[in-house]
Amino acid sequence: MHSANHWGGSFEIYSGAESTTDDEKSRNIEWDKAALQPQHHHLDETQQSWLLYPQETKKKKYVDLGCVSCSHKALKWTLYAFVFALLVIALPTILAKTLPKHKSKPPPADNYTIALQKALLFFNAQKSGKLPKNNGIPWRGDSGLQDGNGTVDFSKAGLVGGYYDAGDNSKFHFPMAFAMTMLSWSVIEYRQKYEAIGEYQHTRDLIRWGTDYLLLTFNSSASKIDKIYCQVGGSRNGSTLPDDHYCWQRPEDMEYSRPVQVVNGGADLAGEMAAALAAASIVFRDNKAYSEKLAKGAATVYAFARDNGRRRAYSTGNDYIEPYYNSTGYYDEYIWGATWLYYATGNISYIKLATEPGFSKHSNALLSISDLSVPSWDNKLPAAMLLLTRYRLFLNPGYPYEEMLSRYHKKTELNMCSYFQQFKVFNWTKGGMVQLNKGRPQPLQYVANAAFLASLYVDYLNATRVPGFNCGPQIYLTGPSSEFRHVTDQLHSRR
């Protein structure tokens, strides 16, 4: 692990206030000069009567308080001082402690905060395994405690844990890993915002629940692996046997068998898992041991992805996976995983891979294909190119990476331009939602991903004082009242 700040952000430096030394204090002490002068002896009444010069006839009045005597004037001022202290110090203190306290109510949460909190709660509802007491979903209990039992030869824990996919009880590791990558990215970039709404630790817990599980799906203690478990449960199309689709029931009530899918090749799955573990290692840098464990696991699965004999899609020919989360390629995961590994480790070999021209060519990253501008669990190109654009904007590494980085930066601009309604790349609904999946089912996930990337791009430009970007001959500014900021707000509001 390298200690350099590869994110390129600023560091806050705090300096302690200088303390005053004892010697300095001693120089400021003022001696009581009166104590050093010869003291005049005060005569009593008998002694004064022996004097030859005229005597004062006015006598001072004293009050005898037993062991101490003082003048009326001194006593009067003492009483005044006591009453003053009572009114100024004691009385307000007593009132502050005895009067009922009325705490002002915090302002109501805005709609984005409420939406985010509910979205995070979804992860709690989807948890599999032995649930913690603070899970926050009272109607959920332990489930899937026998997952992978007797199947996984390198872990006594089997495949217990992780997240169920949606309404069924299947655990698909490919999209699960993508969810953990994106969740980690949001925490890395917007930690302060999570803290402001009290969700920072909660989100870290959700990430760790996912990454702990991903570490069970391969031999994370080894430096080289030959298989990855890619799914637990599931169903074949048209099946009439008890399984996750034939039996629609609570995961706590499952009694049918849950098959486990394993692959000996799958560069796409391994590349996405590498991205998830690497990104999470940045989130958990305050836990050195766990962060290093995640980074090591990321390097191991990425090496699996790059193995010549394993370069194929993980879903090919598997009827438990292909109808549901079929992968269309793996070169986008090569770029995605390598970029996150560079950020996590600082190992320059990974940024060389991420900017390898061959990856761009085989993934069609720079071609004008509208579907490839839409980020999803299957297409990491827009997200990977934005992540590399971040690298260029903040760190500006120059040669030999500048050529590919500048191309990815330009393609990122074009991706953002495609989200403008006036360019008619995608259709829009009457309600104002862009149809990034072109009318196919489940449109919201694509809009949510695009909105996240658009917001990041605006923040990157503003942070580096770049005023805007080009869409052909037009220049779009990115300030708070700009047109592109309006588009990102639209994307968010239609999620």
Decide: 242 and 184 in contact? Cβ < 8 Å. no
Confidence band of 156 (pLDDT split at 50, 70, 90): confident
Mean pLDDT of 272-291: 98
What confidence tier does 340 reach under pLDDT thresholds 50, 70, 90? very high
Tell whether the model's pLDDT for residue 136 goes beyond 80: yes
The domains of the chain are located at 109-335
Q: What is the pLDDT of residues 451-491, one digit of tens each?
A: 999 999 999 999 999 998 989 888 888 766 555 555 555 55
Q: How far apart are the first and last CA of the chain?
A: 38
Q: How far apart are CA 37 and CA 43, in angstroms?
A: 19
Q: In this model, does residue 342 exceed pLDDT 70? A: yes
The predicted structure's pLDDT at residue 47? 35
Structure tokens at 176: 């699960």
Portion of the chain with pLDDT greater than 70, in percent: 77
Q: CA-CA distance, 446 to 178, in Å (whole number)?
A: 13
The yes-or-no verdict on residue 66 having pLDDT over 80 is no
Q: Copy the structure tokens of residue 219.
A: 């031999």
Question: Who has greater pLDDT, 111 or 350?
Answer: 350
CA distance 234 to 166: 12
Residue 468 pairs with which residues in a beta bridge? 477
HSE (side-chain half, CA atoms, 13 Å) at 228:
32
Q: Which residues contact 158 (CB under 8 A, 6 or more apart)?
A: 146, 147, 148, 149, 150, 151, 152, 216
Q: How many residues does the chain have?
A: 495
Q: How far is CA 221 from CA 31, 154, 215, in A?
A: 72, 9, 9
**What's the pLDDT band for 5 if we cut at 50, 70, 90?**
low
Q: How many CA atoms lie within 13 A of 482 on its CB side?
A: 18
**The two structure tokens encoding residue 411:** 């393609």
Does residue 68 carry a pLDDT above 80? no
114-118, 412-416, 474-478: segment of lowest average pLDDT: 474-478
Angle between helices 381-395 and 444-463 (to 10 degrees): 10
Paired tokens of 107: 């302002």
CATH architecture of structural domain 109-335 = Alpha/alpha barrel (1.50)
pLDDT of the residue at 108: 76
- The token pair at 27 is 């120089």
Q: CA torsion 173→175→176→181, rounded to 10°? A: 120
pLDDT value of position 79:
74
Instruction: Count Cβ neighbours within 10 Å for each residue of 173-185 and write b for 16 or more, e otherwise.
Output: bbbbbbbbbbbbb
pLDDT > 80? residue 20: no
Per-residue pLDDT at 491: 56
Torsion over CA of 260, 126, 165 and 340, rounded to 10 degrees? -90
In which order are the strands placed within the sheet that holds 228-232?
171-172, 228-232, 260-263
Mean pLDDT (the chain) is 84
Does pTM surpass 0.75?
A: yes
Contact indicator for 237, 176 with CB cutoff of 8 Å: no
Q: What is the pLDDT of residue 28?
A: 41
- Res. 233 pLDDT band, cuts 50 70 90: very high
Q: What is the pLDDT of residue 184?
A: 98
Give the residue with greater pLDDT, 55 vs 328: 328
At 429-446, the pLDDT tens digits run 999 999 999 888 889 999
